[in-house]
Amino acid sequence: MLRRQGMYVASLVFAVSIVLGGCTMRYGDFTIGSTKNISQLSQKGETVTGEDCSANILGMIPIQGPVYPNLKTAIDRALERAKGDVIADAVITYNALPLIVFNQVCFKVEGKVAKAELGKK
């Protein structure tokens, strides 16, 4: 009987940790990140953060933002904050909070914004 209760408690702890556990992945470190064509880079400016998140119910019904977050949108938001063209020393992070009913996924970009001489396409 005691062994059965122990197995029940262990299973419950495992199930709760799976349900409440989130996920964070670091997509990488980049010397320069931009969504624009660049021909020359000026001095680095202030450090900024840009984020694009989505939240949904049951993995299908969006309640905040798009169905899936976009890395380009996160970079663009960081560039718009400091009115720059490129992000130097960029760190890109992916965060996920998968719960059974509610899910949230985010791209976060952090780095130093700089002005650049934009190239022609």
Alpha-carbon span 15 to 3, nearest angstrom: 18
* pLDDT value of position 120: 58
Domains of the chain: 22-118 (3.30.110)
* pLDDT value of position 87: 86
* pLDDT value of position 36: 72
* pLDDT value of position 77: 93
Element (H, E) at 9: helix 2-20
The candidate with the shortest Cα–Cα distance to 71, out of 37, 110, 102, 44, is 110
72: number of CA atoms within 13 Å, CB side?
2
Strand order across the 23-33 sheet: 23-33, 86-98, 102-118, 38-57, 61-64
Contact 72, 107 (CB under 8 A): no
* pLDDT value of position 107: 92
Q: Kindly give the confidence (pLDDT) of every residue in the chain, 121 residues in length, as a single tens digit, with 9 standing for 90 and above.
A: 667 787 888 887 777 666 666 666 666 667 677 777 776 666 778 899 999 999 988 877 889 888 788 888 999 999 999 888 888 888 889 898 888 788 899 999 999 888 877 665 5
* pLDDT value of position 6: 78
